[in-house]
Amino acid sequence: MKKNTVHSIMERYQQVPTHKVRQTNPCTLDQQTLEKIAELNVQSNPIHYSVIYEWLSEIDPYFADSVQTSIDSDNYNDNTAETLYMNLVAQFLHEKIPNEEMESLLNGLIVHISNWVIHSKQRQATILNDLHTILEQELPPLVSDTLTNSVMPNFLSLHEETEQLRDQVSKSSNAVDKLKEELKKANFFAKTDELTNIPNRRGFNENIEEVIQLSLLNQQPFALVLLDLDFFKKVNDTFGHIVGDSALRYVSKLLKEETKGRDCIARIGGEEFSIILPDISYENAIRVANNIRAKIASKTLSVKNQEKPLKLTLSSGVAIYRKGEEIETLFQRADDALYLAKNNGRNQVCGEQDL
């Protein structure tokens, strides 16, 4: 991939709010990318350049975490880089060609194909009936001979060829229909975190846009809760990444159990999660966040071949949406509250009113 395409891919995240974006000079970042490629002892090719550049820039925290995990586990190589690269390109294409628009185009194509098949059959049947009706009448010998020996054979040949074409078109229609279903699946997986099976950052962005529209329509507030597991690097260092992944799945499962209805959860970073709570007051949002925090803190998880159990805690930040504000502004207030909880000792919930 050319460098200008790499920067085009990066531009898709310009509107994504995150405290993890480094304010780095692009020229310096270019040099850091080349140095890291050399350090990893891989070829300096467009695939590795794109992956490492995006990882160092941390524009997409989830993608950066995937690369970091691969490097930490000594599993970064040509194969893993290619997989990461394809995910990166898929995200870029998803922004340039929205799946909803593509699905609409495919639906239109299926309708046109179906209409053509039906109408062409009807027209040919009408013409064939008319020809038979004409031939049954008393006609001049020359006209009858021309119809019988020239027009009718040519029409029947055309009819047979059209039947074959209709069969091919019907098969194509089935293929388009199957492509549409595959597109739905791709759209789902593109917005789903493969480790925890809950929405990822893209799914979060889509959900919060929908919640904002409902909030404005119904004149009801909603809350954004950001949650970050405390000292999670120590979990990976002590128990290994397999246990760390299990812990993330456990937290995701608990978040599903503790939320309901129109609440939306997502994994938006390595060990960072979010909850969107529609139609809720600030006080109740703080209460929900505290209930989740207390539930996680009260449990210990046994780890195979380990005497010491795994105990998790998390910190949370809560903010209420203000009519007309940008998502980035809401996210930043929740993020500031989260960092206040971290700085105050962790394993606690802070809200925007504490700032």
**8 Å CB contact between 275 and 225:** yes
Q: How many CB atoms lie within 10 A of CB 247?
A: 20
First-to-final CA distance of the chain: 44
**310-311/314-320 β-pairing:** unpaired
**Whose structure tokens read 């995150």?**
18
Point out the catalytic residue in the list 54, 58, 271, 272. Answer: 271
Q: CA-CA distance, 119 to 102, in Å (whole number)? A: 26
For 254, residues 6+ apart whose C-beta sits below 8 A from its C-beta are 292, 295, 296
Pair of tokens at residue 211: 């919640």
Q: List b or e across 178-212, with b for residues whose CB sees 16 or more CB atoms inside 10 angstroms.
A: ebbeeeeeebeebbbbeebebbbbbbbbebbeebb
One-letter amino acid for residue 154 of the chain = N
Is 58 known to be catalytic?
Answer: no
Positions annotated as catalytic residues are 271
